[in-house]
Structure 1
Amino acid sequence: MDDDLIDEAGVPRSRYTRLPGKGFFYPDSLDEERGERLAKEAIEGSEAVVIADSDADGLACAAMIRETYDAALDVADFESALAARLRDDDPETDDASDGDSEAEDDDPTADAHARSPVGLVAAGPYSLDTSLERVLAYADADIDLFVCDLCPDEYEWIAEPLEALSETVDSIRWFDHHQWDDETAAAVRDLGVDLVIGESDEECTADVTLRSLDYEFDDRWTELAAVTRDHDLWIKEDPRSDDLADYSYWAGSEEYATVVGAYGADLPETVEEFVADRRVEKEARIDAAVDRAVVHEVGDWSVAVTYGRCSQNEVAETLRGEGADAAVIVKPAGSASIRGSEGFQHAHEVAGKVNGGGHPQAAGCKPDIYDDMLDYAQHWTTEGQACRRVILAAFEAVAEEVAAAETGEESEE
């Protein structure tokens, strides 16, 4: 593929936000090979391994666990690399890095994933089984394994690697705050896993990890958990929580875990400059997605549906502020985010009908409707019409179920 076709330089935002990022066009086989190599390097020889969601909540947990093992990396290397990136991104400089091998060789953090005795494997809800398999393949037999901020939809798809690991590692501790199926939680605990699940509307996983680890954390860590919770539960009372969330999205996992491990919720000046620089583009994408939104009435709910590459939480917040009970952000890569409100707490039920899951007010899914690139081409050119239809149908199904349940309750009375 001609690189110019996926280069955003000089392309109107109204066009490139309708397409996935460059990573979408990178073949899964090559991505899997790279992921396998990086995981192997992070896991081999480690005394402990953390599998964590790659957002601010999961990575805060990883930082806490490294603190207990005295295994944090040197933050100075990351600050130096970040300052270099800011200089390279400056349009007034002529020596911007183009990602060539020489620039990579000069990066002091290029091998950071392999340095700490506590290996970090960043994962998502749909790659948890693969991450467990990689720990099984490359970890020493006597390690401590931690899983943070991840909830399997079903026990069966993690059963084989988790059961094997329970026979070989010293311990498995699992910290989370999502809503678990009782049978799945029981099956995990039956393996001897120390599974601690916090209340999803009161705690983030950083809270759960902080109170579960036998370690005297200082106030910096308590504050980090509180600010992480402020964003993760969408409380939005501390402006620093948006900085943490944005930085975790734009930074690499090792960088974020190291920086918040060193500074807590008060990010250093270099990071604040980086976040402010990236936020200009972020706000423009939010505005574009809000402008594309269409409101549908489903049952008693007003559902705003939009499309585009954007920050889904902020888009949803804006749409809720304009009167929507729920917001759906369909993404160019084929997945979708579903966000609720006080008037709509069924996001996980809707997502569960279209290959997803999550919380009552925050969930995600990827409908199984993409068979080939022509389907994706139609997805991009129609702004996700097929995806919108199946998700709205799921809203309608949930509305019918809720109405039926309410009718049943009234008849019982």
Structure 2
Amino acid sequence: MDDWLIDDERLSIERKSVLPGEGFFYPETLEETEREREAADRLTDAETVVIADTDADGLACVALLETQFGEVSLLPASPHDLGRAIEWAAEYVDPGTHVFVCDLCPDAPEDLDALGALVDQAGAVRWFDHHQWEPDLAEAVETAGVELTVGDSEAVCTADVALGELDGDFEERFVELAAVTRDHDLWIREDPRSDDLADLAHWVEPDEYVDIIREHGADLPPEAEELLAERRIEKDALIEKAVERAQLREIGPWTVGVTYGRCSQNEVAQALREQGADAAVIVKPAGSASIRGTETFERAHEVAAQVNGGGHPKAAGCKPDVYDDMLDYAHHWTTRGAVAKQAIIDAFRRLEVESD
């Protein structure tokens, strides 16, 4: 396949909105081989390892750990590849290495298959999180010998959990950093800096983001603000496209806004709330979807759990199991996610409605 076919730089906003990014088109086997090589390089000879989600919350935890322990090695992970990250850590960390897992929640028992081997190899394993955990998975983690701390998902972010559990005497800027990170992660949106942190974490490399927030906390330097201003031109255009193609659906007692596009899901969800949606579903070109709730719908994690996902009452993610081959993805792009949308809508319909 010619490179120009997947070159983001040449695409119009309309086409970029409906197609996944370049990385989607690289075979997972090639990507996994490269990622494992990078993991081995990062983990070998490291004294402290952090397996973390690379959003602002997970990386705030990395910044706190690096401030307390000095240099740490970050192994990036997501909920969908947590098991693989644990497996690589078990294979490549040196005996006695301190390992932390931050801002990640296992979706299924198989995500923890290598956890026992990691505990045997490492000096100690601690796990900080704030998502909704299934009791059996929490028990499995603790039975493996991991010190697990899960905060209230409606009150704290994982950075809050790490700040409370670590013994370091952290400067005030780190306390403020956790508070501003929480403002975005829990979708409170009272501090405008929280959107800046979330966007910057998405647009720069994880190690660079950690360096910036360790030095500056939540008050970003001018060069970071300039980058944000430049990148938000395209971001805003993609948000506009997703909002334009959204539809409001009445599902049981709820109004659900449903849309499709490569976009920043939180801003799209906010726009749909302003149109009267109790919940928002944003299906992405790569096949995953974000589900956002409101004060009138706090069951996003229940919807996501039915379609290969999980998360919080007001913020969850999933990837419906509806893609068998590239023809299914072609249909997905040309129909703007019709099959995935229907799978998630059906999950809303299966929720039991409490009677008054």
Write the distance in 2 (CA, Å) between the matches of 1:145 and 1:212.
Answer: 15
For residue 176 of structure 2, what is the aligned residue in structure 1? 223
Equivalent residue letter for 1:378: H
Residue 128 of structure 1 aligns with an amino acid whose one-letter code is L
- Secondary structure, counterpart of 2:18 in structure 1: coil
Q: What is the letter of the counterpart of residue 191 of structure 1?
A: A
CA offset digits 1:293-326 (Å, max 9, x no partner): 0111000100110001000011001101110001
What residue in structure 2 maps to residue 58 of structure 1? 58
Q: Does 1:192 find its partner at 2:145?
A: yes
- Render the CA deviation track for 1:81-113: whole Å, top value 9, x for unaligned: xxxxxxxxxxxxxxxxxxxxxxxxxxxxxxxxx
Counterparts of 1:182 and 1:252 in 2: how far apart (Å)? 34
Partner in structure 1 of residue 125 of structure 2: 172
Whole-Å separation in 2 of the counterparts to 1:256 and 1:331: 25
Q: Structure 1 pair 7/186, CA: closer, same or farther in 2 (3 Å)?
A: same
User: What is the CA distance between 1:367 and its match in structure 2?
Assistant: 0.7
Q: What residue number does 2:8 align with?
A: 8
Aligned to 1:129: 83
TM-score, normalised with respect to structure 1: 0.85
- 2:105 match: secondary structure: coil
**How big is each residue's C-alpha offset from its partner over 1:45-75, in whole Å with a ceiling of 9 and x where there is no partner?**
000100001100000101110111122xxxx
Distance (whole Å) between structure 2 residues aligned to residue 197 and residue 341 of structure 1: 23
| Correspondence 1:331 to 2:277 | no
Residue of structure 1 equivalent to 2:243: 290
State yes or no: 1:389 paired with 2:326: no
Partner AA of 2:294 in structure 1: S
Q: 1:255 aligns with which of 198, 208, 216?
A: 208
Aligned to 2:255: 302
CA distance in 1, matches of 2:101, 2:11: 41
Count of residues paired in the alignment? 356
User: In 2, distance between residues paired with 1:190 and 1:232?
Assistant: 29
2:103 alignment partner, one of 145, 149, 158:
149
Alpha-carbon deviation of 1:173? 0.7
CA distance in 1, matches of 2:41, 2:70: 20
Partner Cα distance (2:275, 2:188) in 1: 18
Matched residue SS, 2:36: helix
Identical pairs, percent: 56
For residues 47 and 54 of structure 1, what CA distance do their matches in structure 2 show? Answer: 20
Give the match's secondary structure for 2:140: helix
Partner of 1:40: 40
- RMSD between superposed Cα atoms in Å: 1.0
Alpha carbons 2:127, 2:149 under 8 Å: kept: yes
The answer for unaligned runs of 5 or more in structure 1 is 72-117
**Counterpart-to-counterpart distance in 1, 2:105 and 2:97:** 22
Q: 1:8-57 CA distances to partner (integer Å, 9 max, x unpaired)?
A: 34432112210001111111111111111111111000001000011000
Change (3 A) 1:11 1:153: closer
Q: Name the counterpart of 1:277.
A: 230
Q: Distance in 2 between matches of 1:16 and 1:120?
A: 31
Do residues 120 (structure 1) and 101 (structure 2) align?
no
Give the letter for the 2:87 counterpart. Answer: E
**TM (normalized to structure 2)?**
0.98
Q: Which amino acid aligns with 2:146?
A: V
1-structure distance, mates of 2:340, 2:150: 32
* 1:321 counterpart residue number: 274
- Tell me how far apart the structure 1 counterparts of residues 316 and 89 of structure 2 sit (CA, whole Å): 27
Alignment-mate amino acid for residue 134 of structure 1: W
Q: Counterpart of 2:121 in structure 1: which amino acid?
A: T
Q: Given the alignment of the two structures, is residue 138 of structure 1 paired with residue 85 of structure 2, yes or no? A: no
Q: Which amino acid aligns with 2:86?
A: L
Q: In structure 2, how many angstroms separate the alpha carbons of the residues matched to 1:11 and 1:165?
A: 44
Distance 1:132 1:390 in 2: 30
The gaps in structure 2 that reach 5 residues or longer are none
The secondary structure found in structure 2 opposite 1:174 is strand
Larger radius of gyration: 1
Give yes or no for the alignment of 1:181 onto 2:134.
Answer: yes
CA deviation after TM superposition for structure 1 residue 167, in Å: 1.8
CA contact (8 A) 2:291 2:317 kept: yes
Q: What is residue 113 of structure 2 aligned with on the other side? A: 160
CA distance in 1, matches of 2:172, 2:80: 34
Specify the code of the residue in structure 1 equivalent to 2:147: D
| AA partner of residue 104 (structure 2) | L
In the aligned structure 2, how far is the partner of 1:140 from the partner of 1:254? 22
Residue by residue over 1:154-173, the C-alpha shift from the partner in whole angstroms, topping out at 9 and shown as x without a partner, is: 2x213331111122211111
1:232 to 170, 181, 185: 185
**Which is worse superposed, 254-263 or 49-58?**
254-263
Task: Give CA-to-partner distance per residue, 1:106-132, whole Å, 9 cap, x none.
Answer: xxxxxxxxxxxx210111001111111
Letter in 2 for 1:148: C
Q: Equivalents in 1 of 2:187, 2:341: separation in Å?
A: 25
Distance 1:49 1:177 in 2: 20
Match of 1:346 in 2: 299
For residue 46 of structure 1, what is the amino acid of its counterpart? A
- Which residue in the other structure is 1:21 paired with? 21
Q: Measured at CA, do residues 158 and 12 of structure 1 come closer, stay the same or move farther in structure 2, by a change above 3 Å?
A: closer
> What's the CA shift for 1:335?
0.8
